[in-house]
Amino acid sequence: MSDPAGPTHPNAAVGLATGRFRPDTGEWTEVDEAMAAVLERPEAPAWTTALVRLGRHVLETRQEASRAVPEATGDRRSWVVWVRPSAHPGDVEVATLPLPPSAAADVVAAHARSSRAQRLESIGQFASAVAHDFNNLLAAIRVTAHTLGHEIEDPRKREDCRRIVEATERAARLTQGLLHFAGRSGGPRTRVDVAALLRELATILPSMVGEGIDLDLSVPEESRWIVAARTQVEQVVMNLVLNAREAMPRGGRLRIGIEALTATTDCEELGWDLPAGAYFVLFVEDEGPGIPPEHRQVVFEPYYSTKTHDGQRGLGLGLATVYGVARSLGGDVRIDEGGKGGARVEVALPQAEGGADVVAAKVASPRRRGGTAVLVVDDDALVRRTTAHFIEALGYRVYEAESGIGALSVVASHKDELEAVLLDMIMPGMNGRSTCRAIRRMAPRVRVLIMSGCTTPGDTEAALADGAECFLAKPFDLDDLAARLGRVNGSDDGT
C-alpha cells in the first residue's frame, strides 16, 4: 500500500474519515487527516484488500456499497466503510466510521436496503417511461397491420400482417413485464382472499411444475384478505412457482403457504422494508441450490438472470415482476434460505381492513341518444392517426385532438353527434383524468374510453370513478375496441 500522503479533504467530520482510492493500483490518491490516522492502524492491510474488491465492484456497477470491517485490536469496534463512484476516473470515494459491531451490522444492512430500494425505484421509473413510449409504438404498428390485413386480398400479404400483429402481442407481453416491475399494471383493485386464490391455483400448479416435484400447500381454511388486482397476485404466485421449478431440474419439494406478520422496528433487522402494520406473507420455498447472498441484492432487477434454456439466457423478469407488484401494493419481498439449502422467497402484503370490496364506483351514464362520431385524443400523432384510421374503417366519423384542451374544443362543437371519446391517460398539460371529468360535465351522454401505455397504481379505479366507460391498455386488442364501441353505439335502445 502506498503512503497515504497528498492533498486532504478540509473539515472532516469528527469520527468520520474520508478519502479517494484507486482500486486498480491499491493506492490512496487523496485522504483527510482522519483517514491518514486510520491507515496507521493494524487492520489497514486488510482494509486495502477489502477496498480493492469493493472498489472494483462499485466501478463496475456504478452503485454505492458498504461493508463492516472488524478492528484488529481488542477495541470491540467495527469500521463501517462506504464506497461510491468518484468524479475522478478510476477512483472511488471512501468514507468510514467506527461503531460497535452490532450497530455497524445494522448500518450496513440498512444502507444495502436503502440502496437497493433507490436503485430499483430508478430502474422502475426508467422502465415505466420506456414501456409507455414502446407501447405507443406497438399500438400504432398493431393498428396499421390489423387494418391492412383486412383491406388487402393477397393471402400471403394478409398472413404477413397477421404475423406482425402476433409479434406486437409478444412485444406487449415484454412491456407488460416491465410495467409489473414498475408497479404500474394490474387493473382495478378489490379485496382478494389470498388463501382462497392459492387453493384455486393449487388445482393447476401440479401440471405446471411437472413430474418429480412434490407440491406442499400450507394454506389456512380461513380467509386472508388483501387489497390488490387478482391478476397481480396470480402473477406473483406463478412467477415464484416457475422460479422454484427451474431451481429443481431433478425434482424436489416445493412449499407454498401464507403466514401472518406484524411489522415493527424489529422487522428491519430481519430484512423487511415495511412500515408498521399487519401483513400476510406469501412464501414459496424450494430445495434447489439457493440464491447466494451476493446475488440477493440484484436478482430483483429486470433482465438479471443466471438461468439458461436451450442455450439462451432467461429474460430475468420473474422476480422483478414480483418485487414491482409487492412494492406497488405497499409490501416488500425478501429472500431467505429454504429447505435443504434452497431458496425461500417471501412476499409481504398489507392485510385488508374489514368492510365491503374496495372497488371504485362507476358514475352512471344517462340513456344514449344518437351519435355517429368518435373523438380520438392522444398527444402521440402516430397513435392518434392510426387509431383514427381503424375507427374510420368501422364506419364512424372520426375527429382528432392532440391535447385535453383540443378535446374540449371538439366536444363543444360536436357534442350532439359524438358517440364516444377515446382518450389517452397521460398527456402534457391537461391529463386524461381532468379531460374526462370536463367532458362528462359538458356532454354527459358521451361515453369516454380511457387508454394508456402506462398507469400508476389507482389510475384505473380513479378513471372509472371520474366517469370513464372502461380502461384500455396499449397496445389494445382492436377487436375488443371495436366491440366496446359497438356496445356504446348499441345502447340507444337502453340495453
**Integer-rounded Cα radius of gyration of the chain:** 28
- pTM for the structure as a whole: 0.48
**What are the sequence ranges of the domains in the chain?**
17-99, 190-350, 373-493
One fold for 190-350 and 373-493: no
Q: What is the pLDDT of residue 488?
A: 78
Residue 22 — very low, low, confident or very high, per pLDDT cuts 50/70/90?
Answer: very high
- What's the mean pLDDT when you consider all of the chain? 77
Q: What is the pLDDT of residue 128?
A: 64
Which residues partner with 277 through β-bridges? 263
Q: What is the distance between the terminal CA atoms of the chain, rounded to a whole angstrom?
A: 83
Residue 363 makes CB contacts below 8 A (sequence gap 6+) with 440, 465, 466, 467
CA 436 – CA 459 distance, rounded (Å)? 13
Pick the CATH number of 373-493 from 3.40.50.720, 3.40.50.300, 3.40.50.2300, 3.40.50.10860: 3.40.50.2300
Provide mean pLDDT across the span 433-461.
82
* 374 vs 463, more confident: 374
What is the 8-class DSSP label of residue 354?
S
Residue 414's identity, in one-letter code, is H
Which residues partner with 308 through β-bridges? 313
Q: What is the pLDDT of residue 398?
A: 93
Indicate if the pLDDT at residue 100 is higher than 80. no
**Coil/strand/helix, residue 183:** coil
Indicate if the pLDDT at residue 195 is higher than 90. yes
Q: What is the pLDDT of residue 76?
A: 62
Q: At what angle do helices 318-328 and 230-247 cross, to 10 degrees?
A: 150
Least trusted range by pLDDT, from 355-359, 364-368, 464-468: 364-368
Indicate if the pLDDT at residue 288 is higher than 70. yes
Q: What is the pLDDT of residue 15?
A: 67
Fold of 17-99: Beta-Lactamase (3.30.450)
Which residues partner with 309 through β-bridges? 312
| Residue 91 near residue 9 (C-beta atoms within 8 A) | no
Residue 2 — very low, low, confident or very high, per pLDDT cuts 50/70/90?
Answer: very low
What would be the CATH architecture of the domain defined by 190-350? 2-Layer Sandwich (3.30)
DSSP H helical ranges for 304-403: 318-328, 381-393
Provide mean pLDDT across the span 214-218.
90
Grid cell in block for residue 466 = 371520474
Indicate if the pLDDT at residue 91 is higher than 60. yes
